[in-house]
Amino acid sequence: MTELTRDLADAVGDAFNAMDIDAVMQYFAEDCIFDHAVGPEPCGVRLEGLETIRGAFQGLFNKVENVHWETLDCRISGDKAYCEYRKTVAHKDGSAEDYHSVDILTFREGLIVHKDTYFKQRTS
């Protein structure tokens, strides 16, 4: 069994920052769930299963020049990592995003079984 540590949580973030889909997906369990912050349900949009979630993350990587999650804080409690980020995105169309987000990552045997994402929405 792989112990949930700050190093493991940081390795997940590093994989996302490298925009390397294979590196990212090695941290997810076959039966994983991703609850995205935006969507029609109370949980946002729920994506289930490794291939569905792979497709969503690859879609993000395909539409941006760069995306970076700067870790502001990360706390481990039991099987969960609570990670606060500053997310910056440079889109291929020249637009940019900059906002704070939180991921609650639930692990089982060293793999993510649930990624629950929350973020601030900026207004002009």
**How far, in Å, CA of 47 to CA of 44, rounded?**
10
Q: Is CATH 3.40.30.10 the right assignment for the domain spanning 6-119?
A: no
Domain spans of the chain? 6-119
> For 27-63, how does the pLDDT look when each residue is reduced to its tens digit (9 = 90+)?
999 999 999 998 888 888 999 999 999 999 999 999 9
Confidence of residue 1 (pLDDT cuts 50, 70, 90): low
The pTM score is 0.93
Residues 117-120: contacts with CB under 8 Å, at least 24 apart: 117/34, 117/35, 117/36, 117/37, 117/44, 118/37, 119/37, 119/87
SS3 state of residue 16: helix
> How many helices and strands in the chain, by DSSP H and E?
3, 6
* Beta pairing partners, 106: 80, 114
Q: What is the dihedral of CA 26, 20, 63, 124, to 10 degrees?
A: 80
